[in-house]
């Protein structure tokens, strides 16, 4: 049995690294805060006799030997980076829960057949370096190392530079460390488990998500001397597009989602009609063909809005993560573990992307969800209880042992 | 007669200070570029035997003595700061045209009765430090020195700090140097003179303008796990408000104007539904009561939009510049000067704010407009011809001399 208190203390103590006044965490990937939590992770794993392998994109894998060194490790993992207004659980629970599993095995002197791996993936959040899940994407061969290295943050720093700067570029080739299976524990980040009062979600897959950078170009001119009919106002075009993009999601209810997270007006002067608006667009749907329809509609409404204001739009899709279906064997292991513990479950599809969506491309994968308050995430008030975290971690341990014993 | 070539060369040569690749000028107030043009202005005026008086908000006044030292100076002026995407004429024409007038008087050995003053006002554009016309506003007593000193740019630098940093805080008390009259030459920044093929606009006043900072607060949450009906999306509220604000201006056609020049989403992450949107709003109308109606409607649509998305809006109006009517005597002097030169005119109301709007509060004031291509301003492509600039400057000279001879 895992130690609920120890798990909770680790979660709360490490939350101080990048801790915010509102009780959340701001620990953007590959910053100095990220370096600090990586150092902590390394020290903790080594104290348990694990070997740490760091690959060239900074993914950290701790390996606890099993009885049979010829078997591939069974892996757990998630991420320790956060959003700028991140909570204490998104990602952290999966890694620190995994660490609690390792501590439990260690203390019990339990010997598995397979080696057991615990991974802290680089840049899961995609907030500083877009898209998301870059580390696991390189691991799975979806992105090349060169592509990842070249991604720039908003200050023009590349992921490669940031990785070198914090000293976490390892020598291992991403993907060379193969896993027999991968289990990821995570908070749901949505409202369903809480509403249905269920402690465990058995995650059968991840919805599709597509990310776009959009730029609408019109003509900057004077706010006081340009009559309304003469304007070529990029902001007016943007506002109309934003309203219409939201409507597309509503037209694909209940699953369609459309989000504009970043918007910037140029030249950004109070008395200049903006000549350019740059914004991001995040479209999601569990069904690939509906998502494609949403995309086509989105391109049309953006173009139409730009045209109405005598401007042009450039849309570049820089991420397309299709819907993922997890491995039936791994999903069954999660379900069986929860059943054995007497924890009620329901099947779910993840609305958020997770590293598991990429590991699923190269090894049998499944996920375990636990509830979080008001379904709130990517918010400093994100919260789950000690019991909810402990339940999920216990299911993780049981699923792992059962899978190892197969 | 002024020297058209010399005027043009001065305009083109000084445009290199802060010159942009697209042929405009980026010379934000109180930056090092502003210091350079101020140094140039000082040297040029001193070479003509003028004394330079710098006041505590950085306004620079060059004074050429007249026959009667007991008379108040008749002043010309405008500004040498620009927008981030500024052109070569907005403001510069008024100061450099004034300098050309001084050079002409100097060369001709012409003695006026009144001393003649030429002013380069601080922070006319209001782009770096809002609102606009801060230097002339302090001169006229509309803003206090302390208020001006405390205005912050987007990096948190105050106007006072920036003024000290470039070494242009003088000792003269703003407003202590009183003028008998003030004439400002400026490009129209709108399309009317060009369309009507008229070389000179006789400006009878300035429309009203009111500036607001708006903040809509909702709740940040996850872009992939928050169903559309659960969202409290500040960007959705903003987009609806922006569409409605534009409609208010259209409902007050042909004069009503509404502009959103700056917008910022927070926390600005592609996969976070924005919890907060900050934006600026610029409302204008030549009629004070219509402008007031527009403001009331604006407050309502912003509040309604925030409410629809379960958020709140805070609107702070930080500038209210009511419509201005210029002095009949000064306006007549401009009209008479143009008539004498055989230059066709029309009366106009300025859409843009100008330092003249503040001097008008403390001394007889009028303005002279010249055409600019496509009515385009606050744009690097802003342009007027050598002849257009020379015509305006000649009218400035004639009006000045006539006013002096009264
Ligand atoms: N789990 C999580 O929040 N991942 C970030 C990627 C996404 O936007 O879904
Ligand atoms: N002339 C000019 O562009 N002034 C800036 C103030 C305004 O926005 O009207």
CB contact under 8 A, B270 and A257: no
The answer, yes or no, to whether any atom of ligand 2 lies below 6 A from the CB of B90, is yes
Ligand 1 site, CB within 6 A: A 90, 124-126, 132, 189, 352-354; B 222-224, 271
Residue B118 has phi, psi (to 5 degrees) of: -130, 125
pLDDT tens figures, B365-387: 999 999 999 999 999 999 999 99
CB contact under 8 A, B226 and A253: no
Contacts of A126 in chain B (CB under 8 A): 270-271
Instruction: Give the closest residue (by CA) to ligand 2 atom 8.
Output: A271
Q: How far is the CA of A388 from the centre of ligand 1 (A)?
A: 20
The partner residue sitting opposite B284, judged by closest CB among A130, A220, A224, is A224
Q: Encode chain B (406 residues) as per-residue pLDDT tens digits.
A: 999 999 999 999 999 999 999 999 999 999 999 999 999 999 999 999 999 999 999 999 999 999 999 999 999 999 999 999 999 999 999 999 999 999 999 999 999 999 999 999 999 999 999 999 999 999 999 999 999 999 999 999 999 999 999 999 999 999 999 999 999 999 999 999 999 999 999 999 999 999 999 999 999 999 999 999 999 999 999 999 999 999 999 999 999 999 999 999 999 999 999 999 999 999 999 999 999 999 999 999 999 999 999 999 999 999 999 999 999 999 999 999 999 999 999 999 999 999 999 999 999 999 999 999 999 999 999 999 999 999 999 999 999 999 999 8
* Spatial distance between the Cα atoms of B98 and A187, rounded to a whole number of angstroms: 69
The answer, yes or no, to whether any atom of ligand 2 lies below 6 A from the CB of A224, is yes
Q: How many other C-beta atoms are found inside a 10 Å radius of the C-beta of residue B92?
A: 27
CB contact under 8 A, B273 and A261: yes
Closest CA to B184 of B52, B350, B53: B350
The partner residue sitting opposite B239, judged by closest CB among A211, A243, A350, is A243
Would you state the pLDDT for residue A121? 98
The partner residue sitting opposite A223, judged by closest CB among B191, B257, B376, is B257
Orientation angle between helical segments B386-405 and B328-340, nearest 10 degrees: 120
pTM for this model (two decimals)? 0.93
Q: How far apart are the first and last CA of chain B?
A: 20
Q: How far is the CA of B193 from the centre of ligand 1 (A)?
A: 55
Would you state the pLDDT for residue A164? 98
Contacts of A379 in chain B (CB under 8 A): 219-222, 272, 275
Q: How far is the CA of B241 from the centre of ligand 2 (A)?
A: 24
* Spatial distance between the Cα atoms of A50 and A64, rounded to a whole number of angstroms: 5
Would you state the pLDDT for residue B202? 98
Orientation angle between helical segments A234-251 and B234-251, nearest 10 degrees: 130
Q: Cα–Cα distances in Å, from A285 out to A234, A252, A321, B114, B260? A: 28, 8, 11, 76, 33
Would you state the pLDDT for residue A5? 98
Q: How far is the CA of A9 from the centre of ligand 1 (A)?
A: 25
Would you state the pLDDT for residue A23? 96
Nearest CA in chain B to A249: B228
Which positions of chain A have pLDDT values less than 50? none
Residues 6+ apart with CB under 8 A from A212: A280, A281, A282, A283, A298, A315, A316, A317, A318
How crowded is the C-beta side of B392, counted as CA atoms within 13 Å?
36
Compute the nearest-CA separation of A235 from chain B (Å): 7
* Spatial distance between the Cα atoms of B140 and A209, rounded to a whole number of angstroms: 57
Which of B81, B92, B124, B127 to mutate for ligand 2's pocket (most ligand atoms within 8 Å of CB)? B124
The partner residue sitting opposite A267, judged by closest CB among B85, B256, B259, is B85
CB contact under 8 A, B235 and A225: no
Which residues of B are part of a known binding site for Zn(2+)? 79, 90, 125, 186, 378
Contacts of B262 in chain A (CB under 8 A): 265, 268-270
Closest CA to B212 of B260, B252, B244, B247: B260
CB B276 within 8 Å of CB B217: yes
Which of A128, A353, A377 to mutate for ligand 1's pocket (most ligand atoms within 8 Å of CB)? A353
Contacts of A269 in chain B (CB under 8 A): 83-85, 125, 127, 261-262, 378
Buried b (16+ CB within 10 A) or exposed e, A208-242: bbbbbbbbbbbbbbbbbbbbbebbbbbbbbbbbbb
The answer, yes or no, to whether any atom of ligand 2 lies below 6 A from the CB of B354, is yes
Residue A261 has phi, psi (to 5 degrees) of: -95, -30
The partner residue sitting opposite B268, judged by closest CB among A211, A228, A261, is A261
* Spatial distance between the Cα atoms of B39 and B59, rounded to a whole number of angstroms: 13
Q: How far is the CA of B354 from the centre of ligand 2 (A)?
A: 6
Helix (H, G, I), strand (E, B) or coil at A133: coil
* Spatial distance between the Cα atoms of A355 and A377, rounded to a whole number of angstroms: 17
Instruction: Return the sign of the alpha-carbon dihedral for residues A393, A394, A395, A396.
Output: positive
- Eight-class DSSP state of B384: -
Would you state the pLDDT for residue B116? 98
The answer, yes or no, to whether any atom of ligand 2 lies below 6 A from the CB of B126, is yes
CB contact under 8 A, A243 and B238: no
- Sort strands A324-325 and A200-206 into parallel, antiparallel or unpaired: antiparallel
Closest CA to A399 of A368, A361, A357: A368
């Amino acid at each position: 049995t895992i130690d609920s208190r120890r798990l909770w203390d680790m979660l709360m103590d490490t939350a101080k690294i990048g801790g915010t006044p509102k009780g959340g965490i701001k620990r953007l990937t590959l910053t100095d805060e990220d370096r600090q939590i990586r150092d902590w992770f390394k020290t903790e794993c080594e104290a348990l006799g694990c070997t740490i392998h760091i690959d060239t994109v900074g993914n950290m894998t701790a390996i606890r030997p099993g009885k049979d060194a010829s078997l591939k490790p069974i892996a757990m993992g998630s991420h320790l980076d956060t959003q700028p207004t991140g909570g204490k659980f998104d990602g952290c629970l999966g890694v620190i829960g995994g660490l609690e599993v390792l501590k439990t095995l260690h203390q019990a002197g339990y010997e598995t057949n397979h080696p057991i791996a615990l991974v802290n993936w680089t840049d899961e959040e995609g907030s500083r370096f877009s898209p998301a899940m870059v580390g696991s994407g390189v691991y799975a061969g979806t992105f090349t190392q060169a592509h990842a290295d070249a991604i720039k943050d908003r200050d023009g720093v590349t992921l490669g530079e940031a990785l070198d700067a914090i000293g976490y570029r390892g020598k291992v080739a991403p993907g060379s460390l193969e896993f027999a299976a991968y289990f990821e524990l995570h908070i749901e980040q949505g409202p369903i488990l809480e509403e249905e009062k269920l402690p465990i979600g058995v995650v059968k897959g991840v919805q599709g998500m597509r990310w776009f950078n959009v730029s609408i170009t019109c003509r900057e001119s004077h706010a006081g001397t340009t009559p309304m009919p003469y304007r070529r106002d990029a902001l007016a075009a943007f506002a109309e597009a934003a309203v219409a993009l939201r409507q597309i999601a509503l037209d694909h209810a209940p699953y369609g989602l459309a989000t504009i997270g970043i918007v910037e007006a140029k030249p950004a002067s109070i008395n200049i009609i903006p000549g350019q608006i740059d914004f991001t667009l995040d479209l999601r749907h569990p069904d690939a063909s509906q998502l494609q329809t949403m995309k086509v509609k989105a391109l049309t409404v953006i173009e139409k809005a730009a045209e109405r204001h005598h401007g042009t739009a450039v849309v570049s899709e820089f991420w397309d993560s299709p819907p993922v279906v997890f491995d039936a064997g791994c999903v069954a292991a999660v379900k069986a573990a929860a059943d054995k513990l007497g924890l009620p479950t329901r099947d779910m599809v993840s609305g958020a992307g997770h590293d598991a969506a990429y590991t699923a491309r190269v090894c049998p994968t499944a996920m375990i969800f636990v509830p979080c308050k008001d379904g709130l995430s990517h918010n400093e008030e994100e919260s789950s209880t000690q019991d909810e975290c402990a339940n999920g971690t216990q299911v993780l341990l049981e699923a792992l042992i059962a899978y190892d014993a197969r």
